[in-house]
Amino acid sequence: MPQNDIIIVGSGISGMALAHYCAKKGLKPLVIDKSGRVGGSFHSFRSDDYWFELGAHSCYNSYGNLVGLLADTGILDKIIQPGKAGYKLYLNGEVKSIMSQMSIPELLFSLPKMFGAKMDGETVKSYYSKITGINNFEKAICPMFNAVICQQASDFPADMLFKKRERRQDVIKKFGLPGGLQTITDTIAAESAITTMTDKEITGIGLNAGVYTVTAADGSSFESRMLALATPAAVAANMLGKPFPDLAVKLAALKAESVETIGVVINKDETSLAPIAALAAADDIFYSFVSRDTFPDHKYRGFAFHFKSGESNHEKKLERIAQVLGTKNFAQVVTAGHVIPSLRLGHREKIAEIDKMLAGTPLMLTGNYFSGVAIEDCVSRSLQESGRIKL
């Protein structure tokens, strides 16, 4: 008999949300992750009483399934509201407002085009350049969108970047959690029905007589009649190459961008930079930084710089951070890596083909590459996949 009800590979918000939904159905999930912690892109650096985000950082009351997940796990009443801080552009070594880079005449001429404009079948560039003007888009809007998804945003499907979602009026509009968003995945991992194993890299998946065998690099193996992969598409493709070669080919065709993140903590008096939520860089080696300034601390400030993959070495990146912040006296330096899908027009059709292959099988796929890269998209996909489980 298989030793597990369901094995879930990957402990980011997608994998942990799926584990939670499986546990609600009475199953006992085993979650396996190659890193030394759960959370994936929910990566909150913590040192003593200070924390800041190295990955995902914003939650909204329009994230209905996420809000439901927080209610389920008993932490919805712990959410905290961020303070106000602006979003700025970094251009030629200077911090500038977004509006300072916009042509008002061009904007006034273009804005009326938003009435009746539809995102379906449009890229970010084709849609937003119509309603802001092409020069405004290139100078101000595009760098901000690049910062959001840590890659060139122009070819991203417009309707997959920002979605209109119904808001929960009983929940604050934007929120975080004490200790960072990793608190969510940590809380799910602590559920009694869920077992998590970290520092265990999966190197092979086999399927025989309806039983999945998952093999780790250390030689250990696990069996289950149900399997879920909550990994980047390329990783899932590599794992499924032998048992599901046709599905693996479809997954391997999906593109993604690797993002290298360096987080620094500095004493508040080390920089003259005014409080800021995030900074989007135009034509630089980093896409953006996100700060902890919206949750101010009496002593420290934290900044997570998201660098373009392969642009420079670690020392050069630290030099660039020092130039932007005006100090190289870092109290802490930490690093992280993330994989962000590069969605393109026609992506929904590709996912429909993948879902058709999954139909009727006890194999589930979840992650941020299905309908969008937002946290809510990840949770929603996991909820959808859990609905396929027949007990």
What confidence tens digit (pLDDT) does each residue in 38-81 have?
Answer: 999 999 999 988 999 999 999 999 999 999 999 999 999 999 99
Residue 286 corresponds to which tokens in the numbers above?
Answer: 């980093």
DSSP letters spanning 342-373: ---TTHHHHHHHHHHHHTTSSEEE-SSSSS-S
Sign of the Cα pseudo-torsion (164, 169, 173, 176, in order): negative
Sheet holding 202-208, edge to edge: 202-208, 211-216, 221-224
Q: Where are the domains of the chain?
A: 6-40+63-80+178-254+344-386, 99-161
Q: Is the separation of the CB atoms in 305 and 286 below 8 Å?
A: yes
pLDDT tens string, the chain, 391 residues long: the values are 567 899 999 999 999 999 999 999 999 999 999 999 999 999 999 998 899 999 999 999 999 999 999 999 999 999 999 999 999 999 989 999 999 999 999 999 998 888 888 899 999 999 999 999 999 999 999 999 999 999 999 999 999 988 889 999 999 999 999 999 999 999 999 999 999 999 999 999 999 999 999 999 999 999 999 999 999 999 999 999 999 999 999 999 999 999 999 999 999 999 999 999 999 998 899 999 999 999 999 999 999 999 998 888 999 999 999 999 999 999 999 999 999 999 999 999 999 999 999 999 999 999 999 999 999 999 999 999 999 998 7
Longest dimension (CA), the chain: 71
- Map residue 164 onto helix, strand or coil: coil
Amino acid at 339: V
Distance in angstroms (rounded) separating the CA atoms of residues 70 and 351: 28
**Cβ contacts of 143 within 8 Å, gap of 6 or more:** 89, 280, 281, 282
Distance separating alpha carbons of residues 44 and 304, to the nearest angstrom: 10
Each residue of 157-199: pLDDT tens digit? 999 988 889 999 999 999 999 999 999 999 999 999 999 999 9
Q: Which residue has the tokens 């093999």?
A: 215
- DSSP letter for 138, please: I
In this structure, are residues 125 and 142 in contact, taking their beta carbons and an 8 Å threshold?
yes
Distances in whole angstroms, Cα of residue 97 to Cα of each of 60, 82, 139, 154: 24, 21, 12, 21
6-40+63-80+178-254+344-386: CATH class:
alpha beta
The Cα–Cα gap between 235 and 355 comes to: 17
Give the 3-state secondary structure of residue 191.
coil
